[in-house]
Amino acid sequence: MFLSILAGISFLVGREIFLVLGVTQIRTSLSLLRQIDKNPKAYGQQCRQKGVTVDSDVLSSLQLRFISSNEYVVEVVCSQFSMDPIVIETKKLPQFVKKLPGNTGIVWGESASGIGLEVFGRKRAIVVEKQEIFYSPVDDRLSYGVGPSSSCQAYGFQCCQLETQLGLGDQYNGVNDCPLTCFSSCQSRPLVLSFTSDPFIDLETRVTTIGSGDSVTFSYVVNPFVADNIATVELDTGDGQTFQSTQLTGTFDHTYECQNMPCRYPARIKVVNSAGVESADLSVNNILIEVNN
């Protein structure tokens, strides 16, 4: 019985010690941000070396951004370079200490910004507001305020560019910087660089008008974004016909018939590279053929 009580006390004391260590480490990192905020000249010069051209507010923000549940970076974010911050230090939380879900890190400044830490069920919140550091218990009513702008990366994920990248693995939808394309990793996908027609399309509406029995010449240029530069190009004419080619640039000719005018045929081109990845369905991939005379 005595040993059980002693083990329980040791667990509670040890849990509290690890939590204090985690909070102290975060406080030390935030103190570094406070020092930079008071004397930003050195990092302002580094931002200008990156190419910042604004006369004032060279530093966009100072932030502590988590890249996993127990690892974070302390960063200076330069104006005009929000996705390429200057990393001051990379830290790992003490053993058993984890960041709670809810926010991606802390932005130093006037607005409330905070995180929650946990060790075996024991929780503590750290919040910065009006350039002061506060601590509080964690409950369901606690709002952590604003977080770092590169919040997808704060979860250890990547912002995949919709036009040229395919998201792979797990997806995270609860971020602001890339709510649709935040994935574990990104894979290059082919891109339609140009898709036009003769008769010429209206560049704003991507519509071309022809008469029944007239032919349309479709022209395209694609990039497969793979090392072997191999891809299959497929054209769906919109009236039940399809054409294929393995050339990265070329043309397709097709004649449209319309019995009961007007007729509208949505022509669409897609590319599949040698890795089996298909191009995104963007506006440039589509032309609407109107047959009305």
Q: Residue 232: which CATH number?
A: 2.60.40.10
pLDDT surpasses 70 at 153: no
104-121 tens-digit pLDDT = 789 999 999 999 999 999
Domain that holds residue 53: 16-148
Query: CB–CB of 246/220 below 8 Å?
Result: no
For residue 9, being part of any structural domain is answered with no
Pair 178, 196 in one domain: no
- Taking all residues of the chain, what is their mean pLDDT, rounded to a whole number? 89
Residue 54: C-alpha distances to residues 47, 108, 144 (Å): 10, 21, 30
For residue 53, being part of any structural domain is answered with yes
pLDDT surpasses 60 at 244: yes
Residue 259: C-alpha distances to residues 54, 211, 256 (Å): 61, 11, 10
Pair 166, 112 in one domain: no
Is the model more confident about 56 or about 258? 258
Show Cβ contacts of residue 4 under 8 Å, excluding neighbours closer than 6 positions: none
Number of domains into which the chain is organized: 3
pLDDT surpasses 60 at 276: yes
Q: pLDDT value at position 176?
A: 63
Q: Which residue, 188, 204, 236, sits at the end of a domain? A: 188
Pair 129, 245 in one domain: no
Determine which of 228-232, 245-249, 260-264 has the lowest per-residue pLDDT on average: 260-264
For residue 21, being part of any structural domain is answered with yes
End-to-end CA distance of the chain: 95
Distance CA 195, CA 4 (A): 74
Pair 229, 166 in one domain: no
